[in-house]
Amino acid sequence: MKILSISVHPDDETLGCGGTLIKHKNCGDDIFWLILTDASEKLGYSQEFVTKRQKQIKAVSQKYQFSKTYSLSLPTTKLHQVDFSEIITKISSVIQEIQPEVIYTVNRSDIHTDHQVAAKAVMSSTKSFRNHFIKRILMYECISETEISPPCQKIYLYLRFIQI
């Protein structure tokens, strides 16, 4: 089975579904990682921070044994300023390449603006009539962000479930 974990920021995958990804890997599934944003010097981050972040991403990717790691390099903390169709196009391109059966993504009720934009873009990128191979889309919580937002109803935790 092909599994895609979508992170808005590197660390979302570990905070949100790290144990689940390890379980998928231990079951022989192919796991992939899509990171939507990237820190850069033009956003005010130091070169030291940017270099350290890239090393951390590489180390995490190796530790999880992702089949492939993708980065869209969109501006972190600025997704609301990026043309929405650009975000959808980039996410869709990765989804079409991988053709995952299961996608894990950030919770749409998250208080972080980047996470809200990303959740909406992921849902726009995973329409069933274009992506018949997707069987489940599951949202995960990033505890540092979701506990300060209003609770969502349980029904919204599973966006789409298709019986095989």
pLDDT tens digits in sequence order for the chain, 164 residues long: 999 999 999 988 998 899 999 999 999 999 999 999 988 788 888 899 989 999 999 999 999 999 999 999 998 888 898 999 999 999 999 999 999 999 999 888 777 888 889 999 999 999 878 889 999 999 988 876 545 555 555 444 444 444 43
What is the number of structural domains in the chain?
Answer: 1
* pLDDT recorded at residue 163: 42
Cβ neighbour number for residue 118 with a 10 Å cutoff: 26
CATH number, position 69: 3.40.50.10320
Rounded CA-CA distance 146/115 in Å is 10
Integer angstrom CA distances of residue 124 from 21, 47, 110, 130, 135: 23, 34, 17, 11, 16
Rounded CA-CA distance 105/140 in Å is 6
Integer angstrom CA distances of residue 115 from 1, 12, 76, 119: 26, 10, 10, 6
Report DSSP state, residue 58. Answer: H
Range of the domain at 153: 2-161
